[in-house]
Structure 1
């Protein structure tokens, strides 16, 4: 007895701090099988019995042991640490205290209420139990034995230990005192050792995991996910799976990447075709920054403003249609892609301008010049972007100042007529040059007549200025 406390303390240290499951609301039922020993000696005061607890562990002299399965029990968890137990046992009695007796049959049926002290020990592996109950004991074939009234009801007190080695299996040890009121000599201790198996409990979803341990008690699930489901079987439980019905990858929170482009299908606008993350998973075959499904020319690089197609140059003049004011007629950049009058056209204009007549020493145009001027209008309107320059010239007759003034007025007069008859004002300039640019000698009448003229040329300076101004505005 002096070492018992040390043994109990060591057991508590070994088993008392590891939490396991035991018989509880989720494992309410238990079946126990084992063997039992009956000892009459430490229950009396006179021979053949000793004092209470006298030689309690004297197994060789006093214990009656049947070396077989001799005890069965069924128990049910009630709640708050209480367990109700019904047990049956059998034995062979050949030791009654210090006396030997003929082999007697022993049968016992007991009903008790046990209380587990396990919760006081941090729900560890060791489960101390105390209990109180009653039962009935039969001892048979007493002929020749000086023992009377051994068949009787008993009041039972119990202490025990359950060692839970797993969630459902325990080694069970107990010592039960059975007191008989009718005759003291029939009182005895019954010790038992065996194995207890717990089962039962509530499993609402039927997945084999009791609700207490099931984090998803209303959805059938898997043990590795604490009872929660993994519908698509991708190893990611549904609660953490952004695509619970499609097998996917952990890096995409359980969603698939069907085309393997590193963009998860829910975020991939083109989930069946490998593409680029910056294009939301869609490809850009020509690398022009316009994804193929929005690119009218997926194999040719082109700007987004032209739906991914390169800008055309219909007339092949090197100026893209978007910048070409005459996209179907070739022309130089200076005229925004529109054709310019050729030397032949300018010559033709000047043939007409030679026939323009003015009143003597005046800038007024004579009526018979109208047909020539209209022909000039028609030719100018064929070149919608060209700026024409009207030049006025005189011979050397008269003063330089007078000639300069007259040439300016005549050039302006022609410009006004052309403007009033269909040529936009912004496409016309005029200037007078007096007698400074003769084309023939002023010493003859014919020469002076040739020098008195109106000429038409292209105003390149004005075109360049206008173009530069447009670019600055843009």
Structure 2
């Protein structure tokens, strides 16, 4: 007779087992497990014993729902349906040391329900929790519902069938074999002890006083599969339970490895999601990118990837060039060159004429000269003397700006000097004595300087190299009260100066506009044109007084 209650439990458990997800083995993450298994029972009691006897075995099966409590303990809720007979179908009666009434036999259907406590040895002390082989001890009190049919060969035996319930206690040893993260197999062997005051299993009461003789008991051998399910706590949602997660704060969406840490494909210590170069080993300081020359700039951004070690670089990875001359500081022998200055391979300003004055400071970059003269050749002493004494030899017609022919040879000599010193300009300054009107004298001084300039221009000297100014009677070099002094004051000075420098006459006598500047401003020279033979009257003379003496 089959028990309806057990059938219902068996079918329900099978459905749960079929639906159980293929997840991690039962542990603190997946705390629920469902097991299905096959069993066979072996009797020992008042009639005798078939322990460890595989002759004519009967079979059954069961389901277990288990719950993880700690690393060392699970609790189980089990239901098992099996048959038990003694002796076997062949009629052979075996007795292994326990007295029995000859010829007695029985057949029983046994349904057991138990609440078990599994003590696991893979608790981290002897074995790891996820070890392949996991031994355990099971202690399971419960209830047995028994339908038994007994066949009697003597008058003392019950020959009818009976149904009854009894206390059932099981002690077992087992091994779990971890197959996959979601499934395992187990094999278990244990003994069931029935209530000693209820001796109806084999239909024979025994008055023995020894513990083993007072109880009808049987061995149960079981083997089956377990599937585990449940939801593990996973704070960061990376698919790795907190219990195993060595990186429990991984940002959402980041791929992780088996221990819950972000993937690091290239193994450089920088997680892929932070690594700008995830397939090449790099440096954490450069977001996982390599830096072949070790200058602190990632290769991908380095415009100078082969910079020598120890050289300071800019943001682009190229050696610093503080003065911007195109020569890196570590090669630059002149690191403070002003901006825009052309330099040589060593970063030093060019010096084409090799005079020690760099071109950017050299007024004469193609002709050697001392630094004291801004890199230009110095005018020889004898040449300077010629220029200084030239004023003695430049003469004009009386009261006019017309050069006398005697002046030509000296002017030719000055043309030659200007050609010999192309880096110089010439200042020509005209002067008069104090006789006559101021405006007249000023105009006369301008025109005489201009006449000397015009002559030199006619000989090919560029106009921008000669300036002519007039100072009139304002810059005497001698006493105008005496004739000798007046003669010295009537002069035209010739002063050379480096082109680009301040006009030499302006340095000596102060500011006075050049004739070119006067014309550029649209002005006329002061006084009347000095082309006549007469001279303007003195400012103090009467209106009809005779003209002044020769200028």
TM-score (ref. length: structure 1) = 0.57
Larger mean Cα displacement after TM superposition, 312-321 or 264-273: 264-273
Name the counterpart of 1:81: 32
Q: Any idea what the Cα deviations from partners look like across 1:276-320, whole Å, max 9, x if unmatched? A: 455459686xx9747999539926334464466111333344432
Q: In 2, are the aligned partners of 1:340 and 1:383 still within 8 Å (CA)?
A: no
Q: In 1, are the aligned partners of 2:297 and 2:317 still within 8 Å (CA)?
A: no
Confirm or deny that 1:146 pairs with 2:104.
yes
Q: In 2, are the aligned partners of 1:274 and 1:281 still within 8 Å (CA)?
A: no
Q: In structure 2, do the counterparts of structure 1 residues 423 and 348 end up closer, same or farther at CA, with 3 Å as the change threshold? A: farther
**Equivalent-residue separation in structure 2 for 1:256 and 1:423 (angstroms):** 65
Name the counterpart of 1:329: 367
Which residue of the other structure, out of 178, 184, 189, is the alignment partner of 1:198?
Answer: 178
Q: In structure 2, do the counterparts of structure 1 residues 180 and 426 end up closer, same or farther at CA, with 3 Å as the change threshold? A: farther
Which residue of the other structure, out of 385, 396, 399, is the alignment partner of 1:361?
Answer: 399
Name the counterpart of 2:163: 184
Q: What root-mean-square deviation, in Å, do the aligned CA atoms of Structure 1 and Structure 2 show?
A: 5.3
Q: Tell me, which stretches of 5 or more residues in structure 1 are unaligned?
A: 1-22, 31-78, 204-209, 395-399, 467-474
Q: In 2, are the aligned partners of 1:408 and 1:431 still within 8 Å (CA)?
A: yes
Q: Any idea what the Cα deviations from partners look like across 1:61-120, whole Å, max 9, x if unmatched? A: xxxxxxxxxxxxxxxxxx9935131133453x332xxx35254658464433332333xx
Q: In 2, are the aligned partners of 1:258 and 1:271 still within 8 Å (CA)?
A: yes
Name the counterpart of 1:424: 464
**Count of aligned pairs:** 368
Confirm or deny that 1:26 pairs with 2:23.
yes
1:1-400 matches, cutoff 5 A: 25-27=22-24, 81-91=32-42, 93-95=43-45, 99-103=46-50, 105=53, 107=57, 109-118=59-68, 125-141=72-88, 143=93, 144=102, 146-150=104-108, 152=109, 154-164=110-120, 165=123, 166-168=129-131, 169=134, 171-175=136-140, 177-181=143-147, 183-184=162-163, 189=168, 191=170, 192-201=172-181, 225-226=259-260, 230-234=264-268, 238-239=272-273, 241=275, 243-248=277-282, 254-256=288-290, 258-259=292-293, 269-270=304-305, 273-276=308-311, 278-279=313-314, 289=322, 294-295=327-328, 298=331, 300-303=333-336, 305=339, 306=342, 309-331=347-369, 336-339=374-377, 341-349=379-387, 356-365=394-403, 376=414, 379-380=417-418, 382-392=421-431, 400=434
Higher helix residue share: 1
Alpha-carbon distance, 1:329 to partner:
1.6
**Equivalent-residue separation in structure 2 for 1:291 and 1:384 (angstroms):** 30
Which has more radius of gyration? 2
**Equivalent-residue separation in structure 2 for 1:349 and 1:113 (angstroms):** 130
Say which SS state the counterpart of residue 159 (structure 1) adopts. Answer: strand
TM-score (ref. length: structure 2) = 0.50
Alpha-carbon distance, 1:362 to partner:
2.8
Say which SS state the counterpart of residue 449 (structure 2) adopts. Answer: helix
**Equivalent-residue separation in structure 2 for 1:322 and 1:188 (angstroms):** 114
**Equivalent-residue separation in structure 2 for 1:366 and 1:383 (angstroms):** 27
**Equivalent-residue separation in structure 2 for 1:222 and 1:414 (angstroms):** 101
Q: In 2, are the aligned partners of 1:81 and 1:115 still within 8 Å (CA)?
A: yes
1:405-416 matches, cutoff 5 A: 408-416=442-450
**Equivalent-residue separation in structure 2 for 1:103 and 1:257 (angstroms):** 78
Say which SS state the counterpart of residue 397 (structure 2) adopts. Answer: coil
